[in-house]
Chains A and B, each alone.
Chain A
């Protein structure tokens, strides 16, 4: 049985957009935990760009904010079944 990759249904694949450029958000506050929770997974790791769809500039700001929040114990370094 040959392995055939099914075709990707173009309609389903919605184009990703950088929410920061779209909404004009300029500063990501490291103190705002519930906004940062959108960018980390259940174990508290930072989600990669290909999932969040952020542009490089804002993904850097996100990771910097998350690392600062971790330092000040607003976000955990590692967590199980968080959120």
Chain B
């Protein structure tokens, strides 16, 4: 039962609800394959650090899921490649430290949702 985290960027040309159903499509694909989807995050339209397909903004989404079947990652990625509205995607496997980190992040333990260091480190 391995945990995975996938981030993908959708084309900004899509309207809000089109972006929503593509995310639904991927979540459905995961739940159909009996993966247990832990967390779906939509960061909405965000400015990218460099233009991709000469677009400088994109819909960022994150799906965190756990599955025992390792071939699911290939099917998910071919689905990403097939869907041309997905500009970029990345799936990573989570080790025990990142799982603990994600739970704490979801609980909002860090003052800003994205802040990483749990305690105020002497920066």
Q: Give residues in A with beta carbon < 8 Å to B.
A: 19, 22-29, 31-35, 38, 68, 70-77, 79
Q: List 11 A-B contacts (CB under 8 A).
A: A23-B117, A23-B118, A23-B121, A25-B118, A27-B95, A31-B114, A34-B115, A38-B123, A71-B90, A72-B9, A73-B49
- Distance from A20 Cβ to chain B, minimum over Cβ atoms (Å): 9
What A residues does B66 contact at CB under 8 A?
none
Tally of A-B Cβ pairs under 8 angstroms:
64
Known contacts A23-B121, A38-B123, A72-B88; is-contact A79 B115 (Cβ 8 Å):
no
User: Total interface residues on B, using CB and 8 Å?
Assistant: 27
**Chain B residue with the shortest CB-CB distance to A64:** B92
Q: Are B119 and A27 in contact (CB under 8 A)?
A: no
Q: Are A29 and B116 in contact (CB under 8 A)?
A: yes
**Chain B residue with the shortest CB-CB distance to A22:** B121
User: What is the interface of chain B mostly: helix, strand, loop, or mixed?
Assistant: mixed
Q: Which positions 66-113 of chain B face chain A at CB distance < 8 Å?
A: 88, 90, 92, 95, 97-98, 100-101, 105
What A residues does B105 contact at CB under 8 A?
29
Alpha-carbon distance A25/B119, docked complex (angstroms): 9
Q: Are A73 and B121 in contact (CB under 8 A)?
A: no
What A residues does B62 contact at CB under 8 A?
31
**Chain A residue with the shortest CB-CB distance to B123:** A38
Alpha-carbon distance A24/B97, docked complex (angstroms): 11
From A22, A32, A34, A75, name the one whose CB has the most chain B CB atoms within 10 angstroms: A32
Q: Are B50 and A77 in contact (CB under 8 A)?
A: yes
Verify if B33 is at the interface (C-beta below 8 Å from A). no
Q: Are B88 and A35 in contact (CB under 8 A)?
A: no
Alpha-carbon distance A45/B121, docked complex (angstroms): 23
- Distance from A23 Cβ to chain B, minimum over Cβ atoms (Å): 5
